[in-house]
Homo-oligomer: A and B are copies of this chain.
Amino acid sequence: MITVALDAMGGDLGPSVTVPAAVQALSHFPELKVILIGDHSTISSQLSALGTQPSERLSIQHTEKVISDSEKPSLALRHHHGSSMGRAIDLVATHQADACVSSGNTGALMALSRFKLKLLPGVERPALISALPTSSGGRSWMLDLGANVSSDAEALFQFAVMGNCLVEQYIHRRPRVALLNIGAEEIKGNDLVKRCAEMLSETQSINFTGYIEGNQLLSDKVDVIVCDGFVGNVCLKACEGTAQLFIEKLRTSITSKSWKGWIAQKLFSSAFNALKTLNPDQYNGASLLGLRGIVIKSHGSANVEAVTNAIGEAIQQVKLQVPSRISDRLEAILLERHY
């Protein structure tokens, strides 16, 4: 069995999303156990409303506090005792859970995870990675999505190594690794990116394919896209904002005329399904790499489907033993670079 600790209070909608997601995940994944962490009575009511109750596979751990979205990471570090997020990570640190999932405050989640789980040997900074949908219906992965607000070339290089290691497990071949830059030509870009490109070019065991530009993020050109956390965060959100705007425009235009909407759905279901693959909720489940434990970050605005996907991501990483693989790979590559 795989045990996932779920911060039931995290996210914009808290237990009204996380509890149904836990129930749905339990039916999807027979090997799953969920520990719901948060206010016992709210969680119990949500379970009752869904016609279910705690069981061998679904337990509740009561906590009093919630770390708010506006809490500074430094304050969260001091006041995490008795919080749903803090407890979820504690369960991983003490091996009572195999992974934790939270839709709460990203800064606090990263600070607490780093403090409680510690970095893997050789890792300087953790990184947030997530899958993006690609134009052909596949996936690529991008990191760092905001675990750090600034990075040096060595950190970017480590992100590439960690991303390479994770994605290799998913796609079962050598991932094509690229650096996000403002131009595809070698002459462009800032010093940070150029220095990291040199380091990656010298590393035989990574299939570094060069630079890609922002308009190719959703293409099928590469498998791992590496960038600093500030750039990754704003870029991913820019893609999401654009996708949401498109979906909204289509929806408004169609639902405003009901018989047209009916015809539209009959005629264009394939187009709508294609657009759905670009919906942020479909690819929820970013994860923090570089820690001695598995931490999955769900969007604050994630819906039931999205939190269920995040739990699925946690299960997959547990099966793949991601942290120990990253540690082994990083050690090998650091040896390759230094000798």
Decide yes or no whether A254 CB sits under 8 A from chain B. yes
Decide yes or no whether A190 CB sits under 8 A from chain B. yes
CB <8 Å contact, A249 and B274: yes
As for how many copies of this chain the complex holds, the number is 2
Decide yes or no whether A121 CB sits under 8 A from chain B. no
Decide yes or no whether A275 CB sits under 8 A from chain B. yes
CB <8 Å contact, A241 and B229: no
- Cross-interface CB contact of A237 among B188, B215, B230, B274, cutoff 8 Å: B215
- Cross-interface CB contact of A234 among B73, B135, B191, B213, cutoff 8 Å: B213
Q: Give CA–CA (A240, B268) in the complex, Å.
A: 24
Q: Quote the shortest CB–CB distance from A75 to chain B (angstroms).
A: 9
Of the listed stretches A2-10, A19-27, A259-267, A316-324, name the one at the interface; the rest are far from the partner chain.
Answer: A259-267
CB <8 Å contact, B241 and A241: no
CB <8 Å contact, B214 and A236: yes
Chain A 66-98 per-residue mask, 1 if CB under 8 angstroms from chain B, else 0: 000110110000000000000000000000000
- Residue in B closest to A190 when the chains form the complex, CB atoms: B149
Chain B residues whose CB sits within 8 angstroms of the CB of A331 once the complex forms: none
Q: Give CA–CA (A190, B249) in the complex, Å.
A: 34
Decide yes or no whether A218 CB sits under 8 A from chain B. yes
Q: Quote the shortest CB–CB distance from A179 to chain B (angstroms).
A: 11
Chain B residues whose CB sits within 8 angstroms of the CB of A268 once the complex forms: 253-254, 260, 264
Q: Scan residues 221-250 of chain A and give those whose CB is less than 8 A from a CB of chain B.
A: 227, 229-231, 233-246, 248-250
CB <8 Å contact, A239 and B237: no
Chain B residues whose CB sits within 8 angstroms of the CB of A216 once the complex forms: 241
Q: Scan residues 35-90 of chain A and give those whose CB is less than 8 A from a CB of chain B.
A: 69-70, 72-73
Decide yes or no whether A1 CB sits under 8 A from chain B. no
CB <8 Å contact, B214 and A235: yes
Decide yes or no whether A335 CB sits under 8 A from chain B. no
CB <8 Å contact, B135 and A246: no
Q: Give CA–CA (A110, B230) in the complex, Å.
A: 25
Q: Give CA–CA (A242, B214) in the complex, Å.
A: 10
Q: Quote the shortest CB–CB distance from A301 to chain B (angstroms).
A: 10
CB <8 Å contact, B249 and A275: yes
Chain B residues whose CB sits within 8 angstroms of the CB of A235 once the complex forms: 214, 234-235, 238
Chain B residues whose CB sits within 8 angstroms of the CB of A31 once the complex forms: none
CB <8 Å contact, A237 and B250: no
CB <8 Å contact, B187 and A214: no
Q: Give CA–CA (A274, B194) in the complex, Å.
A: 40
Q: Give CA–CA (A219, B239) in the complex, Å.
A: 13
Decide yes or no whether A278 CB sits under 8 A from chain B. yes
CB <8 Å contact, B271 and A249: yes
CB <8 Å contact, B274 and A135: no
Decide yes or no whether A270 CB sits under 8 A from chain B. yes
The 10 A-B pairs at the shortest CB distance, nearest first, are namely A214-B237, A253-B271, A215-B241, A214-B234, A242-B242, A149-B190, A215-B237, A214-B238, A182-B233, A249-B274
Pick 13 A–B contacts, CB within 8 A, sort by A: A72-B187, A107-B183, A135-B245, A149-B190, A182-B230, A214-B233, A214-B235, A215-B241, A246-B246, A246-B275, A249-B278, A250-B275, A253-B268
